[in-house]
Structure 1
Amino acid sequence: MSTNPVITGEQLSAFTERLDFAIDPFQIQACTALEDGLGVLVCAPTGAGKTIVGEFAVHLALARGGKCFYTTPIKALSNQKYHDLVTAHGDENVGLLTGDNSINSSAPVVVMTTEVLRNMIYADSPALVGLSHVVMDEVHFLADRFRGAVWEEVILGLDADVRVVSLSATVSNAEEFGDWITAVRGDTAVVVDEHRPVPLHQHMLVGNRIFELFDRRPRGGDKREVNPELSRYIKHRVLGADAVGQYRNAMARERGRRGSRSTGVSRPRLISMLADEGLLPAITFIFSRAGCEGALAQCLRSDLHLLEPAEADRVDEVVDRHLTELAPGDAAVLGVDDWRAGLRRGFAAHHAGMLPTFRQAVEELFVMGLVKAVFATETLALGINMPARSVVLERLVKYNGESHVDLTPGEYTQLTGRAGRRGIDVEGHAVVVWTPEVIPERVAGLAGARTFPLRSSFAPEYNMAMNLIDRLGLDGSRELLRQSFAQFQTDRSVVGQARQLDSATRSLRKIDGELDAASGRHSLDPETFVEYVELRAAIKQRERAQRFIRRYDSEQSIAEDLGALKRGHVVAVQAGRHRGLAVVLDPAWRGADPKPLVLSEDGWVGRVGTTEFVNPPEVLGNIRVPKDTRTRHARREIAASLRDSGIERPRGRVKKNAAPTDHELDELRGRLRRHPVHKAAGLDDLFRLAERRARIQREVGALEKSVHERTSQLETDFDAVVAVLLELNYLEDDGQGALSVTPTGTVLRRIYSESDLLVAECIRAGVWDRLTPPDLAAVVSAVLFQSRRESYNAGVDSMPGNRALREALTGTLQVWEATNRVQDRHGVVQTREPDTGFCAAVFAWASGRSLREALAAASEQGNLLSPGDFVRWNRQVIDLLEQIRGSLDPAAPLAGAAKRAIAGVRRGVVASELD
């Protein structure tokens, strides 16, 4: 590749003439390929200028009379890109489609979220006519386990003559990804550039000192060593005199005093230090919303001021503009005064819990240089145009929705990539805050890693299957699955296993020859000896299976009897620390291991399960248990009654029940004793060969199974999804293997929710048919909403409101249970359980109540919603209501209720955010 390619294309020359900077070699290479009619994949670091290639695709489409769709993974990025392109090409040439909003959708250039384009492809939208280019920004999002399949669906579903411009963060398998795109879309130029236009320096903050992370002294090889001065300081100045214990105790006291995690240096002090070093503006990434708000509160309590009075006045102008559509009564609920006060002093928070208009104001002020310090969650790292001079990481651990996990090298690179503003900064700076859990070598490993492989998350879903079969038929759908990046990666990985299988098969043939020769020396038929060895193996396998069956049957019997115990029953706990008599206080939970709550003779109270019993529990007697057993006095009384009851403990040691006779095992053992090889002597060499043969044979079998499963997993999953759809009559079979979508299936084709099957089943069952618009908005929210707090467990019984809503929610749960039984039969992952935690809030809002009242309704249900979450969930409710309305006959009562519900939700702060 030429390091300095020359601009030769007519359109590229015209495009670069209107730029006020020279474009880089990798941008020239990619744009030239695009002008020559190729698709392109561009992999480059954050801030390197990948979007220039996307913007050239827009220019090229307009210049040639075509159309360009510019897709992004999130609505905020779509909004930002829309405004950028309007500035460049005029609002008459640019449109926006995000699900929430539609602006000039027939324009030759339309910015949209990737899901919108996927839906257009499935609907065979007339807007696709004349489409010449599609830009897929942040295409590495196809690795996202929740939404990644959408990117592959688009790449596979677009017409072959559409040129695709894929823009990705740096990934180590860019060539593999490019090979796949070339295979499914034709000639594609892969352009990889690992050079950061603004160099990034890595630091660690230890106490009140900022150190370089890496040793600047030159060394041989590519590996960079940790700064020895940093290591010495931590060892001698920080960790001396048992400082680790003192540090942790101090941090515990600090957390108790502030109610949030401390960094070892206060946030105001940290920002002041960065200011002194000339490292502002800065983004501090804190992986929790509460942490961001806590940092903002610390700064508000301090004397930190980062702006001059004239700058604060300019802040007021921007803030006032963003608050024009806010209802006067909502200001106090939204914390406008504190938010404004922070902005006037040059600092702010930025996270998904804030109103979008608040986040947009912060972004605008940051770009203007009027916000010097932002405390943000990682969502800021995804494409939003907010580069800073420095980035601070307080922790290297984040919550991924299920558990706390370490940052990956790719995530570290994405976050720190925000540091260094092209054309403004000579260099960027990443600062990691030291704690005793963070060692410099680990940070160096994250900062120095260059391996970020892109892995497909493509998997068949109901809506996908319905739309593929409707467009392509069953065989065509399977063929498309075979073209997916997931299958492409599987096929490549199986190549290595296939080589292993070939090698193991050759080894098996070789050892068979050695076994033949050895058997001849002992005057034995090789087949007879192998038969004897296999008979011994079969006996061992049968014995293992019988032990497992006995253990399983025993556990099942114990579980059944535990589940049948009633309040007041006395049993003997047979194992564990509390052996002896115990009385049941509360019957068992439902589940695989029922655990009744018991009280033992010594007063211990706890739940016991199958591990505390060798044999099924026998009811030895019954004693009276008072209604309230929670007090110490009541439990002492019950324990005394148990000791005085006269119920005798079982005598002797507990023994397991004798195992039933296994006739098949007896027959195998008899055949072994009668076998001609059984009494032969001196066969050690044969047995050793046989053991080797058995081991290799197991290896061959395992490899064959693995290769088959891996190459067919996508089709197996797809067939399971299709089986569910056939059973539920969304698809029908013509008897010759051809499938078609039923009228019922037409509804499911237009539902794009994660719980698409549940929504379609509820529509078919009619459980939502007679609801008022506020009731419908509430029940629809239950299939979307996910409570942030794991402890939230409110259900239908705890729902305030009217009987019709509770009945509809109960009906929805019944449909969910019935649908899951069908999915379980076919081995498909079950649909997530409906969550009623947002029902009261959206009901209140759709009924015309105030924002304060709606948030209070959520709080009464046990869910503390931030204003940003409130708007976000309302947006999703609107989106699903639109899908429901669009899937039905406009004259259907449910379609009318959905239309009115949308109008009821789309008002006030929710309507003002749909920009």
Structure 2
Amino acid sequence: MSETPVGTQELAVFADEVSFDLDPFQETACAALEEGHSVLVCAPTGAGKTIVGEFAVHMALAQGGKCFYTTPIKALSNQKFADLTARYGRDKVGLLTGDQSINPDAPVVVMTTEVLRNMLYAGSDALDGLSYVVMDEVHYLADRFRGAVWEEVILHLPPEVKLVSLSATVSNAEEFGAWMETVRGDTAVVVDETRPIPLSQHVLVGKRLFDLFDAKSSDQKVLVDEDLVRHIKQREASDRMHGYGGGPRGRGGRTSFRPISRPEVLARLDDEGLLPAITFIFSRAGCDGALAQCVRSRLDLSREGEAEQIDAIIEKHTGDLPKADLEVLGYWEWREALHRGFASHHAGMLPAFRHTVEELFVKGLVRAVFATETLALGINMPARTVVMERLVKFNGESHAELTPGEYTQLTGRAGRRGIDVEGHAVVLWQPEVDTSAVAGLASTRTYPLRSSFRPGYNMSINLIDRLGTTEARELLERSFAQFQADRSVVGLVRGIERNEGALRKLESQLGGVEGSFLEYMNLRERLKTREREIQQQGRADRRGAAVKSLIGLRRGDVVAIPVGRRAGLAVVLEPDQTPGDPRPLVLTEDHWAGRVSAADFPAPAEALGHMALPRRVDHRTARVRRDLASALKGTGISRPRRRREDRARGGEDRELSTLRRSVRSHPAHARPDREQLARVGERYLRLQRETESMRQKVAATTNSLARTFDRIVGLLEERGFVADGEVTPAGRRLARIYAEADLVVAEALRAGVWKGLGPAELAAVISTLVYESRQETGYLSVHGPTEPIRRAIGQTVDIWTQLRADESRHKLPPTKEPDLGFVNGVYKWARGDELADSLLASGDGGTPLSAGDFVRWNRQVIDMLDQIHNTADDPEVASTAGKAVRAIRRGVVAVDAA
């Protein structure tokens, strides 16, 4: 071995302990760490970034210090705990994930990032002697739901702690490193863009597999394979010759393109030696549908002599499941698929099933998996091949094309280190697939990291408690979010300067800033503005009339929804007198039940008649909706004809008339070159507006997080959580509640609205603050299986409603609306009902939850109940929360809780 550089003796010891040679980027990062720097390592998936984290563990143990190894998800924490325990022994390694606490006083503790954040806010003694923190998957700070946790930890860690940040390849690594340098001190940035296993890109057209790139492609010029282009052109020409029009649906409604089936795709990959493969399908139902298609086929990817090994792993993960629940869970069909070598993998699966699939796939006993993109986020499941069925996915709001960063992350699973010479990415061709666009997607390495850090109630109260208001504002100004915002200001300022130069040139063409033509243009602009104002005022007046009419509706009133998808007769099930935004619950003659708003009524809502309703209407039940809709049609009430709205004539407005006269009488109005100059004037005014907008953005961006913090402090002071810059006892309770609806929980505890509930009832009420429906189910409707539940939910909703009004007044983003979709399911489960009954009672709009979602939401409820158990001042509520936790943690919810 060559002589070890001065200051890297421990690296030499560590390198001798591992069973392979370190890559150059690993050596560079480890050497920087031993020399006393914090390090940021950005490298592709599977490149071996975690070796640098493991070296931090080695350094901590060698120096007699402590190392915390943080990961974003419990599954990764469990995996890393097993790895480190195997290397260093059980006495040296601990685990903290919220669910589990194993050897928490060990010198090396693996934990989720949230656990470390909570330790920092609590000033935990466990931080004493901490010398290194590893933040695996630090690019999670871009996650809009959980990303703030990573920045909170980075900002709060004591300055003497060395930070090892491990990230996927991001295109702005240097920017992120520059911020780390400002907040953590000396930080070495190590970027490696080399995939450890080369990646070959392919397109499967029918049953023919083509290379995506031409052999003559280079870094400067990306060329699509000529054979692929020629074959697609021939195929499209053939379609046109047969009268299909070359599109996905031709004349006569005949389909011109049928993709080959999933079993055929897998059989083709098997023929090419490209298994094991992960096929990414961007929906859970799509994954399960693909699996069902394979089960119905004759496809069998298993090999002789594997059945016993498969059964042993299935038993290891699922042996504790109650036998009575196996049928409900679809166990036997799932097991048959595993025996034939294929499976699905998504968050809707039971954790025990999901972890079985992961182990079988890694061991080569399952050779094809249909997965959602969640598999690409850190789970250690590499494959020889990744298949992309479509290059479009639903992003939560709309269907959008994959970004180069998403494509890179998904295909990063292709290629198993130490097994495959190269990995393979296969895109399935369809008529809408543009191979040039695919080539651009596959050859672009753009994955910018954007901060999602925003102050919230819990974060703000903890900052005030630890630092005081002034220092808290300063810390927010040091966040990566503000760092990026301030950098964007530089570009805006340059844009303002550029625009000001262009404005001066246009002014000279118009006769100068004091010239009469600019005066004329300003008059024309004021005229346009006034016309827009009148139109907007008309819309506002119509909305005001609609709001007033909705507030006046009573239970049983029959109204006509005049426009939109829900147009037709509807009966009011629950009135709503919320000022400014009433949303009564209605049932339409088409069986739809949900909340309507002023937006559904361009003309005021008018009660056309009345119908009697039962005392209690369970509008979530299909039979109830059907019967009520039938009764509504039987009332004989008919829809009135739509009246044309009288449009306000512009001439009736005095200011508008004056402006029109001023424009016509201005000397510039008679100029022969008026319209030619007007086009120059319009460019001038447009550029002037753009420049003013940029100035406003500069003003808004500067100290934007601190201003949001000030608004939060104002609301917290009004509500008594902060007084004279100090955190009150109520504020200290809020500081220990980590949830999206943290302030609602704190206020409900303070008001005592959950007192007197039984364990199952408390679980049901708490579920409204953590559960999120996967589909739109209409607005909130207070219901529940018992009167105490309905009362407590009603009071909880009142607290949320008052908070929403305060947030609107303080210009703060609204707290998540309570969601009642899990109330019945968790209530039944917590009181001891069977799994089948509890599943049927759960879910969105009558669709039962999957077993995996059922378990996941139960565990979310457990987490919130645990917090209430530890924070509630009322001993009765605290005790009930503890009992509720024990009642829920049984059966499928307790098995394989990784």
- TM-score of the superposition, structure 2-length normalised? 0.86
Number of the residue aligned with 2:620 = none
Q: CA deviation at 1:330?
A: 2.0
| C-alpha contact 1:724 1:822 (8 A) present in aligned 2 | yes
Q: Structure 1 residue 241 and structure 2 residue 225: aligned?
A: no
Structure 2: distance between partners of 1:357 and 1:712: 47
CA displacement at 1:769 relative to structure 2: 1.3
Separation in 2 of the partners of 1:893 and 1:534? Answer: 72
Asked if 2 retains the 8 angstrom alpha-carbon contact of 1:837 and 1:863, the reply is no
8 Å CA contact 1:287, 1:377 repeated in 2: yes
Could you tell me how far apart the structure 2 residues matched to 1:595 and 1:335 are? 40
Match of residue 911 from structure 1: 894
Letter in 2 for 1:850: E
Which amino acid is 1:310 matched to? Answer: G
Amino acid at match of 2:823: C
Name the structure 1 match of 2:230. 232
* Match of residue 893, structure 1, among 861, 870, 876: 876
Secondary structure at the counterpart of residue 796 of structure 1: coil
Q: Distance in 2 between matches of 1:279 and 1:270?
A: 11
> What does residue 342 of structure 1 align with?
337
The answer as to whether partners of 2:749 and 2:872 remain within 8 angstroms in 1 is: no
Moved more, 845-854 or 723-732: 845-854
Does 1:14 pair with 2:13? yes
> Which of 696, 700, 703 is matched with 1:709 structurally?
700
Mapped partners of 1:693, 1:246: distance in 2: 47
Task: Determine the structure 1 residue equivalent to 2:801.
Answer: 817
CA distance in 1, matches of 2:704, 2:804: 21
Q: If you compute each CA radius of gyration, which structure gives the higher value, 1 or 2? A: 1
CA distance in 2, matches of 1:714, 1:887: 29
Instruction: Return the letter of the residue paired with 2:228.
Output: L
Provide the rounded CA distance (Å) in 1 between the counterparts of 2:430 and 2:868. 51
Residue in 1 that maps onto 2:480: 485
- Give, in whole Å, the separation in 2 of the partners of 1:280 and 1:470: 55
Q: What is the SS of the residue equivalent to 1:342?
A: helix
Q: Indicate which of 699, 703, 710 corresponds to 1:719.
A: 710
Q: Deviations over 1:589-623 (max 9, x none)?
A: 97879999999xxxxxxx9999997xx7899x989
Residue pairs, 1:212-227, within 5 angstroms: 212-216=211-215, 218-219=216-217, 222-227=220-225
The DSSP-based 3-state class of the residue aligned with 1:310 is coil
1:371-410 matched pairs, under 5 angstroms? 371-410=366-405
1:58 Cα offset (Å): 0.9
2:721 is matched by which residue type in structure 1?
A: Y
Give the match for residue 33 of structure 2.
34
Q: CA deviation at 1:823?
A: 1.0
Number of the residue aligned with 1:756: 742
Q: TM-score, normalised by structure 1?
A: 0.85
The letter of the residue matching 1:287 is: F
Q: Give the Å deviation of 1:51.
A: 0.9
Amino acid at match of 1:384: I
How does 1:122-521 map onto structure 2 within 5 Å?
A: 122-216=121-215, 218-219=216-217, 222-237=220-235, 240-242=238-240, 248=248, 264-505=259-500
Distance in 1 between residues matched to 2:696 and 2:843, nearest whole Å:
52
Most deviating of 359-368 and 453-462: 359-368
Q: How does 1:54-65 map to 2 (within 5 A)?
A: 54-65=53-64
Q: Cα gap change, 1:343/1:124 in structure 2, threshold over 3 Å: closer, same or farther? A: same
Corresponding residue for residue 848 of structure 2: 864
Task: Give distance in 2, aligned partners of 1:469 and 1:165.
Answer: 28
Post-superposition shift, 1:767?
A: 1.0
Q: Distance in 1 between matches of 2:179 and 2:605?
A: 64
What are the superposed Cα offsets for residues 82-135 of structure 1, whole Å, 9 maximum, x if unpaired? 111111111111111111111111111111111111111111111111111111
| Preserved CA contact (<8 Å) 2:767 2:820 | yes
Q: Cα gap change, 1:863/1:505 in structure 2, threshold over 3 Å: closer, same or farther?
A: same
Once structures 1 and 2 are overlaid, which stretch shifts more, 24-33 or 102-111? 102-111
Q: C-alpha offsets along residues 290-323 of structure 1, whole Å, 9 cap, x if unaligned?
A: 2222222222223322233421111112222222
Structure 1 counterpart SS, 2:463: helix
1:543 partnered with 2:530: yes
Give me the CA root mean square deviation: 4.3
Q: Which whole-Å CA distance do the structure 2 matches of 1:309 and 1:570 have between them?
A: 68
The answer to whether the Cα contact below 8 Å between 2:42 and 2:192 also exists between their aligned partners in 1 is yes
Letter of the structure 1 residue corresponding to residue 851 of structure 2: P
Q: Does 1:765 align with 2:760?
A: no
* Counterpart-to-counterpart distance in 2, 1:608 and 1:197: 55
Q: Structure 1 pair 550/762, CA: closer, same or farther in 2 (3 Å)?
A: closer
Shift of 1:657: 5.2
CA offsets per residue over residues 199-257 of structure 1, 9 Å max, x none?
100111111111111112x256622211121122122135523476799569x9999xx
Distance 2:646 2:877 in 1: 63
Structure 2: how far apart are the matches of 1:632 and 1:758? 39
Q: Secondary structure at the match of 1:240?
A: helix
Assess, with a 3 A threshold, how the Cα gap between structure 1 residues 843 and 637 changes in structure 2: closer, same or farther: closer
Question: How big is the shift at 1:636?
Answer: 13
Q: Alpha carbons of 1:206 and 1:65: their partners in 2 closer, same or farther (altered >3 Å)?
A: same
- Determine which of 873, 878, 902 is the counterpart of 2:862: 878
User: How far apart are the structure 1 equivalents of 2:568 and 2:13?
Assistant: 87
Task: Output the CA distance in 2 between the equivalents of 1:570 and 1:308.
Answer: 65
In the other structure, the counterpart of 1:850 is: 834
1:168 is aligned with what amino acid? S
In 2, Cα distance between the equivalents of 1:254 and 1:17?
66
Displacement after TM superposition at 1:324 (Å): 2.7
Identify if the C-alpha distance between structure 1 residues 131 and 547 changes in structure 2 by more than 3 Å, giving closer, same or farther: same
Distance in structure 2 (CA, Å) of the matches to 1:94 and 1:68: 10
Whether the aligned pair in 2 keeps the contact of 1:6 and 1:28 (CA below 8 Å) is no
Which residues in structure 2 correspond to 1:64-103 (within 5 Å)?
64-103=63-102
Letter in 2 for 1:709: A
Is 772-781 or 690-699 further displaced after alignment?
Answer: 690-699
Alpha-carbon shift at residue 263 of structure 1 (Å): 7.8
In structure 2, do the counterparts of structure 1 residues 364 and 472 end up closer, same or farther at CA, with 3 Å as the change threshold? same
Structure 2 partner of 1:730: 721
Q: Which amino acid aligns with 2:128?
A: V
Contact conserved, 1:584 with 1:596, CA < 8 A, in 2? no
| 2:774 counterpart (777, 780, 788) | 788
Shift in Å at residue 196 of structure 1? 0.9
Partner Cα distance (2:350, 2:636) in 1: 56
Distance 1:376 1:21, change over 3 A: same
Given that residues 5 and 29 in structure 1 are in contact (C-alpha distance below 8 angstroms), is that contact kept between their aligned partners in structure 2?
no
Contact 1:562/1:595 (CA < 8 Å) preserved in 2?
Answer: no
For residue 285 of structure 2, what is the amino acid of its counterpart?
A
Q: Aligned in 2, Cα 1:110/1:656: closer, same or farther, shift over 3 Å?
A: same
Amino acid at match of 2:885: I
Whether the 8 Å contact between 1:848 and 1:904 is mirrored in structure 2 is yes
Closer/same/farther in 2, CA of residues 683 and 417 from structure 1, 3 Å limit: closer
Partner of 1:602: none
Instruction: Between 130-139 and 436-445, report the one with greater CA deviation.
Output: 436-445
Q: Distance in 2 between matches of 1:806 and 1:382?
A: 39
- Give secondary structure in 2 for the equivalent of 1:134: strand
1:690-705 map, 5 Å: 697-705=688-696
Amino acid at match of 1:872: R
For residue 469 of structure 1, report the CA deviation from its aligned partner: 1.1
Shift of 1:542: 6.6
Paired residue secondary structure (2:347): coil
Contact in 2 for aligned 1:813/1:834 (Cα 8 Å): yes
**Structure 2 Cα separation of the partners of residues 810 and 622 of structure 1:** 30
Length, aligned pairs only: 863
For 2:829 and 2:632, the matched residues in 1 are separated by 48
Q: What is the aligned partner in structure 2 of residue 646 from structure 1? A: none
Distance 2:870 2:630 in 1: 57
For residue 873 of structure 1, report the CA deviation from its aligned partner.
1.0
Instruction: Tell me which moved more, 151-160 or 491-500.
Output: 491-500
Q: Which residue of 2 aligns with 1:579?
A: none
